[in-house]
Structure 1
Amino acid sequence: MILLWIRRDLRCFDNPALMNAVANGCRYALFISTPQQWDLHHEAPIKLDFIRRHLLQLEQHLTEYGIKLIHLTSTDFTAQSELLIRFCREHHIHRVLANSEPEFNEQQRDKAMLSSGLDIEFYDCDVIAPRGRVLNQSGEMFKVFTPFKKAWLKHVREFGVECTGRPQHKSKALSSLCCDFTGGGDPLPSLIKSSSLSASWPLADEVMEKVIPNFLSAKVNDYEERRDFPGIKATSGLSPYLAIGALSPRTLYQQLMARYPLLIEDVNHPAFCWLNELIWRDFYKHLLFHYPRLSKQTPFLQKYAQTLWPGKQKEFDAWSKGKTGYPLVDAAMRQLINTGWMHNRLRMVVASFLTKHLLVDWRKGEQFFMSHLIDGDLSANNGGWQWAASTGCDAQPYFRVFNPILQSQKFDPNGDFIRKYLPELNDIPTKYIHFPHDYMEKHGVSDIYWPPVVEHKTARLRAIAFYKG
């Protein structure tokens, strides 16, 4: 018997492990929950709910291939490995098929399982260009994004992008098969309490059918001009689906290229800006593969490894609660806390504010994001935070400190986003909405909003001096 091990690949389209499982007559798939491991990795409740909903969808799809999905529960990766090995022995399974996961703990788990003697085959399907194939002339991973992008484009032009499509349906669905598995497993909804935390996000089937075609036809050409304005719904909104493997990046690439066949040759095309974001995603995935220490909360630039960050807990608390006194920062944090998502421009703004204005260790922000984000992904989250903190690969220079007031004036000029998440500022005139303190004091309404935790110019000079030291 062959077993399909479901991990972070909750889809049927471009799922090489599933494709090979169907081709080899697989009849059982297994998903093993690891609540304690999720806690260690700071997985957000809304993300776990999103996984639960897609597992239920996947369960229905697998029946079309004559495959029964079984759900078991362990604690951490060690217990998960032991449970899988025991399950295979008890049910005479001689081969396991799974898609790879690049993070350090996941790689250690998989290596241990291979050394146990279990016949397990892994496939890569979470990046567009295969990891280990985009290298510099010395055969090493790039440390700057732009040359990586050039090599990435060269590789894709030369070798193309493999996308396995969707398996053909079996002539007989599961309901007509005689299933001989006797251990029923846990009900899938027990993965996490059904709280509908992610209910506002449609399932991937609807996204494939409606959202992606609409984005590629109506929004992608304006993406570069509109993507930085949080008050406009101009981004694709696909990151949560990529994070749990409900969508394949290779599928997105192929759909983009089907609409714009010459895009790979024309970096000046308006739609290339969105492809560039997919390449950034690959960049961070490749970095994680080549530098496993990034999974261990270690800065890419080793000179910052022993840095003692002087930021205070009370300042971190003000930031995490959206009470810094800078409206754009506070509105962004409210968006994260209330919805489980944050606009990408705002992620840069609030990360810069925490690490530069408040000099708080970037790892605290990274963990806070992971514990709230529906699209929490270690490689992208780590890469983004280290970029903002100037400790990462191809990060912003340490002397670049975002001015949250100017960012607000530029990207939320009318204060629409601010007012949405900070209704207490509804009556503040637009001219003062980006930093309302002088106006409030003048009109005797300073009690409606909290004072700034730091003064921008002072904080900027302090940050530059700190990094120089």
Structure 2
Amino acid sequence: MKLVWLRRDLRSIDNTALNRALESGEPVAALFIATPKQWERHDMAPVQADLLYRRLFELQKELDKYDVPLLYRQCDDFTQSLDLVMDVASELTADHIFVNKEYEINETLRDERAAQLCHDAKIGWSQFDDKCVMTPGTVLNQQGEYFKVFTPFKKAWLKKMSWPTIAKTVSASQRAPLSNMAQQWLWSKDQAFDYPRVDSRDYAVDFDSIRQQLRAFCQQAMDEYHTQRDFPAEDGTSLLSPYLTIGALSPRQCMARLHEETLSRPMSEGATTWLSEVIWREFYQHLVYFEPRLCKGENFHRWANHIHWQHNDDYFQTWCQGRTGYPIVDAAMRQLNHTGWMHNRLRMIVASFLTKDLHIHWHHGERYFMRQLVDGDYASNNGGWQWCASTGCDGQPYFRIFNPTTQSEKFDPTGKFIRRWVPELSELDNKTIHQPWKATQTLNYPKPIVDHKAEREVTLSLYKQAKGNE
């Protein structure tokens, strides 16, 4: 028997490890191990845990079509998961374990140890690059080094990329009988899942619905993506990121659908822009592969170690609660707290505000996002926060500082998004709603906690000093 150890690849379609196991022609079982203490250390959001939990039930149905049982176990952390996976392999008399690689440092170390345990037990171990369209290490500059800026990475990525085709999942041979103990390991509602969960019902978890969402976006919204994606009041994004995060959908599936939709016509500007977002995801995955220190909370640029952060817990809590006095910042944070998701343009605005208006270390914002986001992915979240804080990979200098008022006026011009999430401002006109401190009426809304113009100058001084101490 072959054993497939599933992690952040919760799909039956376009799953390299699963396909390779099925191609053996022997019976196959799949295993998922919950690690709540590890998830807690990694700041998994309860809403993401619920999405993952619900996805397991649908995945079980999908795998059953291929005669593959889904087994489930729970332990504290990655270290304990190694003993569990070996125990399950022994119980099933599995002679080979198949996995898809993860590139973060804890996950990499876990798999290195697992490979050694399999070698010692004379069990086969096969791991595959499945998480990205282009395998980390295959997109390099002319000196054979990894790219440290996105635009040249994108150009090289596009030059090397060939449009993927999605391999059909083959049927397994007849399922081998499971032992009584293994029968008890089948995923069910009776199994322990000891991690806090927050309702994720706004996100479908069956494959047909996920696929239809991908198709609908590509057919109906993708061509206008470049004009609509920055406006949070509009339904202009794909909302596929939660599925990519838990692996219910692969980036190759996104690419294949994009290719299918543009076969008979030139690729639109919207399609090209959406493709760039897929490549951004790849870029950050490649970075954590080449720079494990990013997974240890280090700044990408070492000069940033000299930035003198001015952490103020009252300011931080006010930011978290959406009570800063800047409407677009507050609306964004309330959206995050209520839904577990935030529009990408807003992620940049609130991150810039925390780091460059409040001068609070990006670590705090990064961690808060992970604890709230249904699509929290370490590489993308870390990359995004360091980009906004100007401590990470970025072709722009550190003096890019978002003005929350002008961003609000530009990307929510009528205040539609603000009115939804900051209803205490709903009666203001379309101009004053972006600067409620200028309103003539009394509002149940705080004054700005800082003056953006003044804090911008503080940031420029702090960063200039840090670079001078490099």
Fold match by TM threshold 0.5: yes
| 1:37-436 alignment, distance < 5 Å | 37-116=38-117, 117=119, 118-156=123-161, 160-170=162-172, 178-180=177-179, 182-183=181-182, 184-185=184-185, 187-189=187-189, 190-191=192-193, 197-261=199-263, 269-394=269-394, 396-436=396-436
Residue 31 of structure 1 aligns to a residue whose secondary structure is strand
Aligned counterparts of 2:194 and 2:343: Cα–Cα separation in 1: 26
Does the residue aligned with 1:137 lie in a helix, a strand or coil? coil
Contact 2:36 2:195 in 1 (8 A): no
- The Cα of 1:167 is off from its aligned counterpart by 1.1
Mapping of residues 27-46 of structure 1, within 5 Å: 27-46=28-47
Letter in 2 for 1:168: V
Query: Equivalents in 2 of 1:181, 1:17: separation in Å?
Result: 26
- Measure, in 2, the Cα distance between the counterparts of 1:47 and 1:145: 28
Which residue does 2:459 correspond to in 1?
463
Name the counterpart of 2:468: none
Q: For residues 295-316 of structure 1, give each alpha carbon's deviation from its aligned partner in whole angstroms, at most 9, with x where no partner exists.
A: 1111110111353311311111
Judged with a 3 Å threshold, the aligned counterparts in structure 2 of structure 1 residues 76 and 14 are, in CA distance, closer, same or farther, namely same
Are the counterparts in 2 of residues 388 and 395 from structure 1 also a CA contact under 8 Å? no
Change in 2 beyond 3 A, CA 1:286/1:239: same
Q: Shift of residue 70 of structure 1?
A: 0.9
Gaps of 5+ in 2: 466-470
CA drift at 1:253: 0.4
State the alpha-carbon separation in 1 of the partners of residues 361 and 205 from structure 2. 36
Distance 1:106 1:366 in 2: 19
Bigger mean CA deviation after superposition, 104-113 or 184-193: 184-193
Sequence identity (%): 42
C-alpha deviation, 1:363, in angstroms: 0.6
Q: CA deviation at 1:119?
A: 2.6
* RMSD, aligned α-carbons: 1.9
Q: Using a 3 Å threshold, how does the CA distance of structure 1 residues 348 and 418 change in structure 2: closer, same or farther?
A: same
The answer to whether the Cα contact below 8 Å between 1:4 and 1:26 also exists between their aligned partners in 2 is no
Distance 1:282 1:370, change over 3 A: same
Q: Which moved more, 1:88-97 or 1:459-468?
A: 88-97
Determine if contact 1:15/1:164 at 8 Å carries over to the other structure: no
Alignment CA distance shift 1:397-1:110 (3 Å) = same
How far residue 210 of structure 1 moved from its aligned partner, in angstroms, is 2.1
Cα distance in 1 for residues equivalent to 2:180 and 2:139: 43
- For residues 362 and 193 of structure 1, do their structure 2 counterparts lie closer, same or farther at Cα, with a shift above 3 Å needed? closer
Q: In the TM superposition, what is the alpha-carbon distance from 1:68 to its structure 2 partner?
A: 1.0
**Does the residue aligned with 1:217 lie in a helix, a strand or coil?**
helix
Distance (Å, rounded) in 1 between the aligned partners of 2:267 and 2:143: 26
Q: Distance in 2 between matches of 1:372 and 1:334?
A: 11
CA shift for structure 1 position 257:
0.8
SS of the residue 2:133 aligns to: coil
Letter in 2 for 1:99: N
Letter in 2 for 1:125: D
Counterpart of 1:141, as a letter, is Y
**Corresponding residue number in structure 2 for 1:437:** 437
TM-score normalised by length of structure 2: 0.93
Partner of 1:182, secondary structure, is helix
Q: State the distance in 2 between where 1:42 and 1:233 align.
A: 28
Kindly provide the CA deviation profile for residues 178-231 of structure 1, in whole angstroms up to 9, marking residues without a partner as x. Answer: 433533127544335796611011125234442112111111110001100000
- 1:272 is paired with a residue whose SS is helix
Q: Number of paired residues? A: 457
CA–CA distance in 1 between the matches of 2:126 and 2:172?
Answer: 23
Report the Cα distance in structure 2 between the residues aligned to 1:320 and 1:178, rounded to whole angstroms. Answer: 52
Distance 1:195 1:135 in 2: 40
Q: Structure 1, residues 235-284: CA drift from partner, whole Å, max 9, x if none?
A: 00000000000001011101101111388xx7874310100111111111
SS at match of 1:4: strand
Distance 1:77 1:260, change over 3 A: same
Amino acid at match of 1:14: D
For residues 366-385 of structure 1, the C-alpha deviation after alignment (integer angstroms, 9 at most, x for no partner) is: 00000000000011100100
Contact 2:100 2:130 (8 Å CA) reproduced: yes
Q: Which moved more, 1:50-59 or 1:161-170?
A: 161-170
